[in-house]
Structure 1
Amino acid sequence: MKFGKEFTSQQVPEWQEAYMNYGSLKSLLKEINLFKQRNLPAPHRPHGLKRNATLYRAFSGLSHMVQHHSPRNHHSPSPDVENQVILVNGLADDSAETTFLNVHDEGGEYELVYFRRLDDEFNKVLKFYKEKAKEVVDEAGALNKQMEALVAFRVKVEHPEGWKNSVEETRQLASDVAASRAELYATAPSAVRASKRATLMDAIDEESSRNGGGLSVESIRGDSKDDKETKTITTNSQLQVQADDQDDQQNGVRSKRPAPLEILQYVTFNTPQGTPRSTIKGILNIPNQTDLKFSKDNLKKAEAQLKKAFVEFYNKLRLLKSYSFLNILAFSKIMKKYDKIASRNASKSYMKMVDDSYLGSSNKVTKLMERVEVIFIKHFANSNRSKGMNVLRPKARREKHRVTFSMGFLVGCTFALIIALILIIRARKILDKEGKVLYMETMFPLYSLFGFLVLHLVLYAGNIYFWRRYRVNYSFIFGFKQGTELGYREILLVSFCISVLALACVLANLDMEMDPVTKEYKAITELLPLVLVGLLLAIMLCPFNIIYRSSRFFLLVSLFHCIFSPLYKVTLPDFLLADQISSQIQALRSFEFYICYYGWGDYKHRQNSCGDSDVFNTFSYIIAALPFWWRCLQCLRRLYDEGDIMQAYNGLKYFSIIVAVSTRTAYTLSNANSWKIIAWITSIGATIVSTYWDIVFDWGLFQRNSKNWMLRDKLLVPHKSVYYAAVVLNVVLRLAWMQTVLNITIFSLHTQMMIALVAILEIVRRGMWNFFRLENEHINNVGKFRAFKSVPLPFNYDEDEDKDE
């Protein structure tokens, strides 16, 4: 693989604009190469010229070179200044400004443009790296305070009776410090101990004071060019700490070093926002209880929150370190290409500037990574290095051959069962039998539920495939735990497994005739759909770590948040799931039919009165409006939390759909022409508003002054025709949605077939909508360089203490 493709594949998707534009610089080098090929003729070599051998040839001797050769000739001439190509000047803000000295050469203007662009790219990368490095240093300071509070909280929980006096406390803490440091040093590998001897001495311990160790900002100020000085300072500080410990044992506690438990005077709990309790208290103006309660449950919650914060912080450091390495490598590659094309020798001087800059010489990120590893292993992995590093660096999910094989096998089984089903229907002439109508009205709604579910999963798998292909960071957008997100193969495996089970049940249930004696159908075959639904629900709720438990629980939590929409803070997975449910109205109605058919119907005779029941019909329309009601409540909650007026307009959009469904219900119950006209008007209005919102706000298209006509500036799919076709298709499929409101029948199809067809078209529209919706979300994240999720911290640290000091 060429470096350009490898460089692009290794980039953080949300930081694409901040990386060095390797392709642009490479195109400038191509222009320089084309100019040289056009204007610099190849040296003329006359044909037939042969070198005549001579009898007298110069011989310099074997001992000449040995006598005059030395490892470093101090009298060798210095490099010719006239042969210097560029002059790299460092500015006050550590940025670079390169002067091209051979601008008057033929084609020199091309090289001048190249170096100007090169400086712009370097300064862009340097500025971004400085900003991110400052952010992680500030975040390290915040995490340091959190760890100090956690350490003190843990001591208080484990020793609720307290210490007898401060001298005894200090001696006990000092001995524990020495023991924990020795334990860490003994468990670390020899190579790691050699490189981190100074770092381990600064690790946070449960017994260290507020000013001792941790992720202190002062401890990571050193750069790589000052390593010797830093090691000397660290050694002196260790000696000073030992001397201070001796003074403490002889003269008592120093007044300048407060006991760890005193930190708790300035700490309160951060109450979680967006939970039902905090929401209800906010409505009733009841203040949240933030006082510290020293219990093991609170300690576990604080440790879990801080553990997540450290894992996310470490991931940020890893990506920032990779960012620095990749960009330095890209500058080295592009300069080597320049030397080769332009026949210059400029890469050495330019790369010396890059290596001496903040981008190449600062080791703050590396030091922070080492310190985070030590702290995490000590406090969250019980000093087990392999366990701690497995959490900090989770292994990426590997594609397994058995998943691919099983998926392919199930695909083949699905098509085989479909063909068998068609052949059986044709051979037995089932469509000509009297039980056809009864079968369509009873069994078809039961089995169509699995068809809707499988189709949605297949489209979701297709979305994942194209999101990966066009580098949409869907796992970050959804908030999946690293290493647990499912790929498109796993989704297809689940979907085709369901399809095989459903089709097998259909073949077993394909019975149009009653028993002539009992006038009943076979109870076993009639119960197959219910058994399959029960099996899927049991797997979904299974607490054991089987069949993608992490993904199942993630889905259940989001579903729970959707049902209780106004009580929870709305996240992107929550409202995206509510949108998916709004496209599965017929699946929800099929689930309602399961309850009615098997609960109140006579399934042995395939008889039920569900369609004639007012309660069933009422709930059928309530179910149709319920997902839109959830989305409306989510928009109101986001309006309350974020203060974004666009959420109010989005809520009105969903409210218009609810009005359309309600007017359709009124028309069905009264059958009056006035309600029919109102139903038409509200349905058309809701369709127009929803279509406009899909294209403009959800997809981000139809932007004014865009370089791509009627689209947006940034497009991930290289073919613009895909976007235009998606817009047209979305409009057409939105019109099909009106059938669910107006009950339009075409092609003389059976009512159940018509309902299933429209439901399929809506699911297809939602699958297409999902891709462009997440693409737009990804582009917004790229524009704001949002590559990490914010993790709530357990403690609120009162800053008044720092002011007093």
Structure 2
Amino acid sequence: MKFGDHLNESAVPEWRNKYIDYKFGKKKLKECKKVLDLESKPWERELSTSSNLSYLSHQSLRSRSGNPSKNYSLLQRQCIKAFLQNWLIETELKKANDFYLWLLEQSKKTFLVLQQQLSIYSLQRDHEAHLLQRLPSPFGVTPKKYGSIGGLGQSTSAVKTYFEKWKHLIDKHGLWPSWPKGLTNVWNNLEKNHRGRETFNRACLPVTAAQAEKLLGEALIDFYNYLQLVKTFRDLNVTAFRKMIKKFDKICKTEELASMMQFAKNNYPLFKHVDINVALMTQRMQKTTSAQATGKVKLTDENEDPIIFWETQVTEWYTKDLVSSNSAQKRHNKRLKKLSVQYTLNEQMIHRNNRAIVQMFFSGIGIGISATLITYTLYLSFFYRHDFTLHKILFPLWGGWYLILMLATLFQLDCFIWHRIGINYRFIMLGEFHSKNGTQLFNNDFATSAISLQLYFLTFFVVSCAICAVISFHWASLSPCGFIYLGIVLFLFVCPNGLIPYWNKVAGTRKWLIVTLFRLIFSGFYPVEFGDFFIGDIVSSLTYSMSDIATFFCVYSSTPNSQCGSSHSKAVGIMACLPSYWRFMQCLRRFSDSGDWFPHLLNAGKYMLGIIYYGLLCAYRLSGSHVRGPFIVFAALYAFFAAAWDLVMDWSLFQTTHQNWMLREDLYLAGKRNWKTGRYSLRGKLIYYLAMIWDVAIRFQWIVYAVAPKTMQQSAKTSFILALTEAGRRFVWIIFRVENEHVANVHLFKVNGELPLPYPVYEGEETPDPIKSDTISLSHLAMSLKEPIAAYHSMLRRRTGTFDSLSKSIPWAHASDFERPPTFTSDQNVQDTDSESEMESVT
């Protein structure tokens, strides 16, 4: 594998701008080669002997690198100054080195806090063990024997075990309802104008040693993975620097490698440990990762290599200090071996284990056949005979399923687009860096992206839907195919592993969908995570499918089929209002959790307008022109508000940038910047302008209902076509919404989750009492650091208020749509001061 491809596949997406720009360097070398080709001209050789101006500047570089000057031509000296000195060292190496120093500072502070946490945990564990030894048994009988009299204890124990399993299952998937943590402080936050920060002063029960052990275990593994990222960042930049000089020497016929490497090693901390890591990185690049290559190196002195030293200490903590038995130690050792971050795989390993070809082949055949069958049923629905009403009834029943499956298929296309342009969507949606699973997300090969697996999973739903739909359209009367397909959907979700090939690989996807839909239905009872609000927004574009739920049960009930349409059934309108209601409750929950009226109350107002809009649309269909006026007013208000929210809040467009008119600075979908000017092409930016027009146009589709005749308003064909355009709008919205979230992570250099710690962090040497402990997130550790060019922090806003504060907050308001792991501190006043000073430096 070429190093350029290796670097592209191994680079952390959120840190990509901090690496040495290897591809840009190769383009500059081509320019140097063109310039050196001129040296063969006679007049150029004369100029080379008569001029010594560039030679003097080259001598200054030689004095910095410590290498004696060589007999280079004028053009060679000019290339050395332009490429090596001005670009590679002064620009690229300095950029990578500065960011590496910031990463070291953050890692060191995290290491010290974890060290403090382990010492407190050791005290608490010894204290609890001492208490257990002194605790006497009641009546001299063990609890097991005492509870088994007459079999009563056994039955009670069985019931208790059963409920404990259910409790564990609910806890594991986060399905316990909870009160809003900031409900009691909302009014105080409004009075003090504490906008933009989550409520940190939540009362928290003291943790036990077992709970602390679990929290510390997750935090240590998370830090272990983070150190591997930092180490690979260092190794890749060192290797890129060395290979750039080797290419330069080959093209320009110079001998600068040894002197430049020595100069970098003497002046840049990034190269301080080059002798240990570069050789391993070069030798094993094709077979393994640098993290694995150097993972067995154990150091006892932090000055030798701080990253490997911290990694060694974390490994010992996790496998020795945080275990209570030999079996636990074996589990921890096994888990560490499985969590080696696979930044890149060699081609032989990828193709040997590549199942994506089989999955894509099956998916292509299945979706192709299904598309033909679905198109046939749509043809029958649009061109049925007026005296054959069966197709008119079946059309909305299957049209709702068609829209759901189409949007799910388009979502896979979204994933492919993100994969191609380098957006870390899997971390945004699923948090795949989380220490429970490890990660392979930084490998950019399609075979490891899981897109083919998800499409394979979806194909079973699409094929079964198409077959059932065709059968129902050719049945003599209303068939039970609707119930049959509903049973197939439920079976596919609960299907045991091994019955269908690769079905065990999608177990996590099935669980995630079930849990997220359950949390969506009971919105308001759960904190809003990314999946909750994201699925909620998608479902809000499937109001046609939601309405068809009422139509489905009406058709198969004793109600006459003529009374099941949208012009006769109130239930259809109620079901259409549900998605907006769920999102409305999520916005209120976000406001209650954070005490932040902006943007959550405004967003709740938008969805309240949506509820009114769909309610009036139902009334308009039921009563005709009696509510036409109010319907037009609220439809216009909702469309304008929703379109503005999409563009300004969700996509963070309409910013006053210097280069991209009415857009933002980072435009991943616009392609790569021009390597000379640093600007995006007009063709690339046109994608954003067209998406803005498309979004606004579809938001105003209600005009069709307002201006069309009555028969057009109640037409199932019209409703399906408009629902189809709304699904297309949501497909585009999803692309830019996730891109905008990735831009936020890039500005924050966010590559891992924020896991809570069991004990508070103390600045002094005072040893805290673990029994009275609160928790604090690792994200709090970086608050006192000066982040390099950090644009914002999602939990923080300035207190100055009014229009100036709002204008600065709007481009980043999307970051608070969902709850990130909370940060807890024992001193709220100290945190407020730190937050204020940080925002002053950022803004």
Counterpart residue number, 1:73: none
Q: Which protein is bigger by CA-based radius of gyration?
A: 1
Distance verdict in 2 for CA 1:743–1:541, change over 3 Å: farther
Q: Quick check: 1:473 aligned with 2:442?
A: no
Counterpart residue number, 2:603: 650
Counterpart residue number, 2:692: 727
The 1-side partners of 2:521 and 2:548 are apart by 19
Letter in 1 for 2:93: F
Instruction: Kindly state the Cα deviation for residue 706 of structure 1 after the two structures are TM-superposed.
Output: 3.5
TM-score (norm: length of structure 2): 0.66
Counterpart residue number, 1:334: 244
Deviates more, 1:622-631 or 1:778-787: 622-631
Superposed CA deviations along residues 523-573 of structure 1, whole A, max 9, x for unmatched, are xxx222212213323443569784622122223333344334434333333
Superposed CA deviations along residues 268-290 of structure 1, whole A, max 9, x for unmatched, are xxxx9998545268439999664
In structure 2, which of residues 516, 531, 541 is the aligned counterpart of residue 573 of structure 1? 531
The 2-side partners of 1:784 and 1:102 are apart by 47
Instruction: Kindly state the Cα deviation for residue 511 of structure 1 after the two structures are TM-superposed.
Output: 3.5
The 2-side partners of 1:755 and 1:406 are apart by 35
The 1-side partners of 2:629 and 2:713 are apart by 25
Instruction: Kindly state the Cα deviation for residue 31 of structure 1 after the two structures are TM-superposed.
Output: 3.4
Instruction: Kindly state the Cα deviation for residue 472 of structure 1 after the two structures are TM-superposed.
Output: 0.2
Superposed CA deviations along residues 642-699 of structure 1, whole A, max 9, x for unmatched, are 73723443333333323322333444455454x3122112212221222232223322
The 2-side partners of 1:770 and 1:25 are apart by 34
Distance verdict in 2 for CA 1:376–1:648, change over 3 Å: same
The 2-side partners of 1:89 and 1:377 are apart by 47
Instruction: Kindly state the Cα deviation for residue 307 of structure 1 after the two structures are TM-superposed.
Output: 2.8
Distance verdict in 2 for CA 1:732–1:404, change over 3 Å: farther
Instruction: Kindly state the Cα deviation for residue 319 of structure 1 after the two structures are TM-superposed.
Output: 0.7
Instruction: Kindly state the Cα deviation for residue 730 of structure 1 after the two structures are TM-superposed.
Output: 2.2
Distance verdict in 2 for CA 1:289–1:161, change over 3 Å: farther
Superposed CA deviations along residues 371-415 of structure 1, whole A, max 9, x for unmatched, are 222332343652346522244326699786555434433532444
Counterpart residue number, 2:677: none
Instruction: Kindly state the Cα deviation for residue 129 of structure 1 after the two structures are TM-superposed.
Output: 0.8
In structure 2, which of residues 536, 544, 551 is the aligned counterpart of residue 586 of structure 1? 544
Counterpart residue number, 1:134: 105
Deviates more, 1:725-734 or 1:413-422: 413-422
In structure 2, which of residues 662, 669, 675 is the aligned counterpart of residue 710 of structure 1? 662
Counterpart residue number, 1:758: 722
**2:107–2:227: 8 Å Cα contact kept in structure 1?**
yes
**2:18–2:99: 8 Å Cα contact kept in structure 1?**
yes
**2:373–2:466: 8 Å Cα contact kept in structure 1?**
no
Superposed CA deviations along residues 475-520 of structure 1, whole A, max 9, x for unmatched, are 1111333459872212221222112111221233234535xxxxxx
**2:356–2:453: 8 Å Cα contact kept in structure 1?**
yes
**1:575–1:631: 8 Å Cα contact kept in structure 2?**
yes
| Correspondences of 1:556-635 after superposition (within 5 Å) | 556-598=514-556, 600-601=557-558, 607=561, 609-611=563-565, 616-617=569-570, 619-635=571-587
The 1-side partners of 2:648 and 2:114 are apart by 40
Q: Quick check: 1:283 aligned with 2:187?
A: no
Q: Quick check: 1:392 aligned with 2:339?
A: yes
When the two chains are superposed, the root-mean-square deviation of aligned CA atoms in Å is 4.3
Counterpart residue number, 1:119: 90
Instruction: Kindly state the Cα deviation for residue 580 of structure 1 after the two structures are TM-superposed.
Output: 0.5
TM-score (norm: length of structure 1): 0.69
The 2-side partners of 1:507 and 1:460 are apart by 25
Instruction: Kindly state the Cα deviation for residue 13 of structure 1 after the two structures are TM-superposed.
Output: 0.6
| Correspondences of 1:234-313 after superposition (within 5 Å) | 276-277=177-178, 279=180, 282-283=183-184, 290-292=204-206, 294=208, 299=210, 301-313=211-223
Counterpart residue number, 1:412: 365
The 2-side partners of 1:420 and 1:573 are apart by 32
Counterpart residue number, 1:360: 271
Gaps of 5+ in 1: 45-80, 91-96, 165-271, 515-520
**2:377–2:473: 8 Å Cα contact kept in structure 1?**
no
In structure 1, which of residues 497, 502, 514 is the aligned counterpart of residue 465 of structure 2? 502
Distance verdict in 2 for CA 1:782–1:24, change over 3 Å: same
**1:414–1:500: 8 Å Cα contact kept in structure 2?**
yes
Superposed CA deviations along residues 74-126 of structure 1, whole A, max 9, x for unmatched, are xxxxxxx9997834659xxxxxx999999994564553333122223222211
Letter in 2 for 1:588: M
**1:454–1:496: 8 Å Cα contact kept in structure 2?**
no
**2:566–2:572: 8 Å Cα contact kept in structure 1?**
no
| Correspondences of 1:313-352 after superposition (within 5 Å) | 313-352=223-262
Q: Quick check: 1:679 aligned with 2:643?
A: no
**1:86–1:100: 8 Å Cα contact kept in structure 2?**
no
The 1-side partners of 2:515 and 2:174 are apart by 16
Deviates more, 1:718-727 or 1:24-33: 24-33
Letter in 1 for 2:460: C
Instruction: Kindly state the Cα deviation for residue 451 of structure 1 after the two structures are TM-superposed.
Output: 1.0
In structure 2, which of residues 625, 641, 645 is the aligned counterpart of residue 693 of structure 1? 645
Instruction: Kindly state the Cα deviation for residue 585 of structure 1 after the two structures are TM-superposed.
Output: 0.9
Q: Quick check: 1:773 aligned with 2:687?
A: no
The 1-side partners of 2:176 and 2:41 are apart by 75
Distance verdict in 2 for CA 1:429–1:159, change over 3 Å: closer
The 1-side partners of 2:376 and 2:97 are apart by 68
Counterpart residue number, 1:36: 36
The 1-side partners of 2:67 and 2:16 are apart by 25
Deviates more, 1:637-646 or 1:281-290: 281-290
Instruction: Kindly state the Cα deviation for residue 157 of structure 1 after the two structures are TM-superposed.
Output: 5.2
| Correspondences of 1:733-752 after superposition (within 5 Å) | 733-736=698-701, 742=706, 744=708, 751-752=715-716
Q: Counterpart of 1:548 in 2: which secondary structure?
A: helix
Letter in 2 for 1:14: E
In structure 1, which of residues 660, 663, 668 is the aligned counterpart of residue 616 of structure 2? 663
Deviates more, 1:551-560 or 1:99-108: 99-108
Superposed CA deviations along residues 4-35 of structure 1, whole A, max 9, x for unmatched, are 34323321110112112334444443333322
The 1-side partners of 2:737 and 2:378 are apart by 41
Aligned residues: 633
**1:631–1:654: 8 Å Cα contact kept in structure 2?**
yes
Superposed CA deviations along residues 34-67 of structure 1, whole A, max 9, x for unmatched, are 22222443899xxxxxxxxxxxxxxxxxxxxxxx
Q: Counterpart of 1:86 in 2: which secondary structure?
A: helix
Letter in 2 for 1:536: V
The 2-side partners of 1:406 and 1:26 are apart by 37
**1:305–1:792: 8 Å Cα contact kept in structure 2?**
yes
**1:460–1:767: 8 Å Cα contact kept in structure 2?**
yes
Q: Counterpart of 1:714 in 2: which secondary structure?
A: coil
Superposed CA deviations along residues 185-237 of structure 1, whole A, max 9, x for unmatched, are xxxxxxxxxxxxxxxxxxxxxxxxxxxxxxxxxxxxxxxxxxxxxxxxxxxxx
The 2-side partners of 1:698 and 1:88 are apart by 53
Distance verdict in 2 for CA 1:503–1:98, change over 3 Å: farther
**Percent identity, aligned pairs only?**
24
The 1-side partners of 2:631 and 2:31 are apart by 64
